[in-house]
Chains A and B, each alone.
Chain A
Amino acid sequence: MLTVEHLTKTFANGKGIKDVSFEVRRGEVFGFLGPNGAGKSTTIRHIMGFMKPDAGRATVNGLDTWLSQGKVQSAIGYLPGEIAFIEGMTGRGFLDFLSGMQRAQDRRRREALIERLQFDANTPIRKMSKGMKQKVGIVASLMHDPEVVILDEPTSGLDPLMQKVFVELVLEEKAKGKTFLMSSHSFPEIERTCDRAAIIRDGAIVTIADIRELQRMQRKLFEVTFETEEEASAFAAAGLAVESREGNRVRVAVQGDYGRFAEETARRRVRNIDVFTQNLEDIFMEYYDRRGAKG
Chain B
Amino acid sequence: MSVALYKQMMRVNLKGILNYAFGSAFYILLMFWLYPGIAQNTAALDDIVATMPAGVGRAFSLSGFDSAEAFISGEYYGLILVLILAIVSVQLSTQLMARLVDRGAMAYLLSTPTTRVRIALTQACVLVSGLLIIMGATTLAGFAGKAWLLSDRYAFDAGSFAVLNAAAFLLFFAVGGIAFLVSAVSNDEKKALGISGLIVFGFYSLDLLGKLADSIAWMRDLSIFSLYRPGEIAGGGAFPALGFALLAAIGLASFAAATALFKRRDLPL
A129 to B190, CA, bound (A): 26
Chain A residues bordering chain B, tally (CB within 8 A)? 30
Q: Does B4 contact A (CB under 8 A)?
A: yes
Please tell me if the beta carbons of B266 and A52 are within 8 angstroms of each other in the complex: yes
| Pick from B7, B12, B116: contact of A69, CB under 8 Å | B116
Chain B residues whose C-beta falls within 8 Å of the C-beta of A49 in the assembled complex: 110
Q: Which of A97-105, A175-183, A263-271 contacts B (4 or more CB under 8 A)?
A: A97-105
Q: Does B269 contact A (CB under 8 A)?
A: yes
Q: Does A74 contact B (CB under 8 A)?
A: yes
Q: Does B19 contact A (CB under 8 A)?
A: no
Please tell me if the beta carbons of B266 and A73 are within 8 angstroms of each other in the complex: no
A69 to B103, CA, bound (A): 21
Given contacts A87-B12, A88-B12, contact A50 B269 (CB under 8 A): yes
Please tell me if the beta carbons of A80 and B116 are within 8 angstroms of each other in the complex: no
Kindly supply a per-residue 1/0 record for chain B positions 196-207, scoring 1 wherever the CB is within 8 Å of any chain A CB and 0 otherwise.
000000000000
Given contacts A52-B266, A98-B108, contact A86 B113 (CB under 8 A): no
Please tell me if the beta carbons of A73 and B269 are within 8 angstroms of each other in the complex: no
Interface hits, B61-118 → A, CB 8 Å: 100, 103-105, 107-118
CB distance from A64 to the nearest CB of B (A): 14
A101 to B4, CA, bound (A): 6
A146 to B129, CA, bound (A): 34
Q: What residue in chain A is nearest B2 (Cβ atoms)?
A: A101
Q: Does A213 contact B (CB under 8 A)?
A: no
Please tell me if the beta carbons of B107 and A73 are within 8 angstroms of each other in the complex: no
| Pick from B7, B105, B264: contact of A85, CB under 8 Å | B105
Kindly supply a per-residue 1/0 record for chain A positions 75-97, scoring 1 wherever the CB is within 8 Å of any chain B CB and 0 otherwise.
01110101111111100000001
Q: Does A116 contact B (CB under 8 A)?
A: no
Please tell me if the beta carbons of A86 and B105 are within 8 angstroms of each other in the complex: yes
Q: Does A201 contact B (CB under 8 A)?
A: no
Given contacts A85-B105, A88-B12, contact A73 B114 (CB under 8 A): yes
A241 to B5, CA, bound (A): 59
Please tell me if the beta carbons of B110 and A84 are within 8 angstroms of each other in the complex: no
Q: Does B261 contact A (CB under 8 A)?
A: no
Q: Does B155 contact A (CB under 8 A)?
A: no
| Pick from B4, B108, B118: contact of A80, CB under 8 Å | B108
Please tell me if the beta carbons of B108 and A85 are within 8 angstroms of each other in the complex: yes
CB distance from A115 to the nearest CB of B (A): 22
Q: Sorted from nearest, which 3 A-B pairs have the closest CB atoms?
A: A70-B115, A100-B4, A84-B104
Question: Can you name 27 A-B residue pairings with CB atoms under 8 Å?
Answer: A45-B269, A48-B111, A50-B267, A50-B268, A51-B266, A52-B264, A69-B110, A70-B113, A70-B117, A71-B113, A71-B115, A73-B110, A73-B113, A74-B113, A77-B111, A80-B108, A83-B104, A84-B107, A85-B105, A86-B8, A86-B100, A87-B12, A88-B12, A97-B4, A100-B4, A101-B4, A101-B114
